[in-house]
C-alpha cells in the first residue's frame, strides 16, 4: 500500500513539474478529486503509459462525481 501511494505521488510530482501553471492547476485539481478513485478502482495498476487514465475510463460508471467532472473539464481543455 505504501509503495502504491509512493508511486502515485512520484508520478504526480513528475507530471506537475513538467506542466505549465494553468495545466499544473488542472492536474492538481484532478489529483484532489481523483486520488481516492484511483486508489479504490485502480489499485495494483502501475502509473505510466496512460494505464491510470485507461483504468479510470474502464470504471467511468464507478468514478466519483467530482473526479468525473474534473476529468471532463481536463478533456475539454485538452481539445482546445
What is the per-residue pLDDT for 36?
A: 94
Residue 34: HSE in the Cβ half-sphere, 13 Å Cα cutoff:
26
CB 27 within 8 A of CB 16: yes
Residue 24 neighbours by CB distance under 10 Å = 14
pLDDT band at 66 (very low <50, low <70, confident <90, very high): very high
Measured over the CA atoms of residue 45, residue 50, residue 54 and residue 57, the dihedral's sign is positive
Residues 8, 38 contacting (CB under 8 angstroms): yes
Q: Is residue 14 pLDDT above 70, yes or no? A: no
Task: Give residue 12's pLDDT band: very low, low, confident or very high (50, 70, 90).
Answer: low
User: Is residue 15 scored above 70 in pLDDT?
Assistant: no
Is the pTM here over 0.75, yes or no? no
Amino acid at each position: 500500500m505504501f509503495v502504491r501511494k509512493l508511486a502515485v505521488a512520484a508520478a504526480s510530482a513528475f507530471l506537475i513539474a513538467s506542466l505549465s501553471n494553468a495545466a499544473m492547476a488542472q492536474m492538481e485539481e484532478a489529483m484532489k478529486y481523483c486520488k481516492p478513485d484511483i486508489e479504490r478502482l485502480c489499485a495494483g495498476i502501475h502509473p505510466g503509459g496512460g494505464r491510470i487514465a485507461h483504468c479510470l475510463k474502464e470504471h467511468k460508471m464507478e468514478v466519483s462525481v467530482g473526479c468525473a467532472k474534473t476529468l471532463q473539464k481536463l478533456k475539454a481543455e485538452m481539445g482546445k
